[in-house]
Structure 1
Amino acid sequence: MAISRGIKVHHDDVFPHGAYIVGEVEAVRDFERSTRERPVQATDKETGQLVWSVSVLDPDPDARKDAKTVNVKISAPVQPVPPGEIAPGMPFRPVEFDGLTVTPYLNENGGRARVAFSFRATGMRAPRAGAKPTPRANGEAA
């Protein structure tokens, strides 16, 4: 069985303690088509939409130190706008991702190989208040 794309996951599977935007939504540069003088934005190979990136804080107390902040790439025709307001008492904006996928890959940083994950989404929105994932017939979260 070959998996050619990311594996579909629910937001709560990846971020069970929530997720918080910690940076700006930025265009992802297409390094193959860009030059120093003329940057070109990356496009999604499947949809043809522009690719954007946002840094997200994972507040999971058990997350490894190097996994506390991850980048999520979003395919969208225009720059996504961070949802909602900054949470009271918090310096960050809470977020939930729609159409989230994860792609594992081998990261050979510094000669030491480890499995890393790339996250992509089709959109982002403010978290639903008190919402929990609804179980599917096969026991997975919807």
Structure 2
Amino acid sequence: MAIQGALPVEFGTVFPHGAYALGVEPVTDFETKRPQLDKNTGLPLWAVDVIDADPEARGKAKSVKVKVAAEHCPTLPDEVPGLPFRPVEFEQMSVMPYVDDSGRRPRVAYSLRARGVKTPGGNGAASRKAPAAAGASGSKDAG
């Protein structure tokens, strides 16, 4: 097959109505409790908890995780006065479909990855890239 691994995708394709970050936490291995490392870069993985701003999103699709590989915890954009969440945009996103068979019946889910986190519409100094995040990984249907 010509397509191998994750597929590049634009932030606006995944989150056409925008996204809001709730927080960032390290991804740990369930059994060893050690930090999970990105297979491509060897860097620690960080999970950004995200609320999809799409008013049509329901259930599991409303809250997702986007994983970023970085030496240090990615810095989220500053809070916006009057908003309960931080608007966020992800740089160099990719998506990898997979079969989630943990429920009553198998379904297609999506693992989301990004190489950086920034303020929506921001660039340059306003952008907050994860240092050396050359092969990040994450998840659209928290899987």
Deviations 1:12-47 (A, max 9, x none): 11001000002x211111236x1xxxx310111111
Specify the alignment match of 1:120 in structure 2. Answer: 113
Identity, in percent, stands at 48
Q: What secondary structure, in the 3-state scheme, does the structure 2 residue paired with 1:12 have?
A: helix
Asked if 1:64 corresponds to 2:58, the answer is: yes
Partner of 1:102: helix, strand, or coil?
strand
Decide which of 40, 46, 55 is 1:46's aligned counterpart.
Answer: 40
> TM-score scaled to structure 1, two decimals?
0.79
The one-letter amino acid of 2:44's match is: L
Which residues in structure 2 correspond to 1:1-142 (within 5 Å)?
1-22=1-22, 24-31=23-30, 34=32, 39-84=33-78, 86-128=79-121
User: Structure 2 regions of 5+ residues with no counterpart?
Assistant: 123-143
Give the aligned residue type for 2:100. N
| 2:50 alignment partner AA | V
Counterpart CA distance in 2 for 1:107 and 1:73 is 18
Superimposed CA distance per residue, residues 80-118 of structure 1 (whole angstroms, 9 cap, x where no aligned partner) = 11112x233210000000121111111123321211111
Question: C-alpha root-mean-square deviation of aligned residues, in Å?
Answer: 1.6
Max Rg structure: 1
Cα distance in 1 for residues equivalent to 2:109 and 2:58 = 12
SS at match of 2:117: strand
Separation in 2, partners of 1:98, 1:110: 31
More strand by percentage:
2
Q: Tell me the distance in 2 between the aligned counterparts of 1:9 and 1:88.
A: 30
**For residues 113 and 37 of structure 2, what CA distance do their matches in structure 1 show?**
13
Between 56-65 and 89-98, report the one with greater CA deviation: 56-65
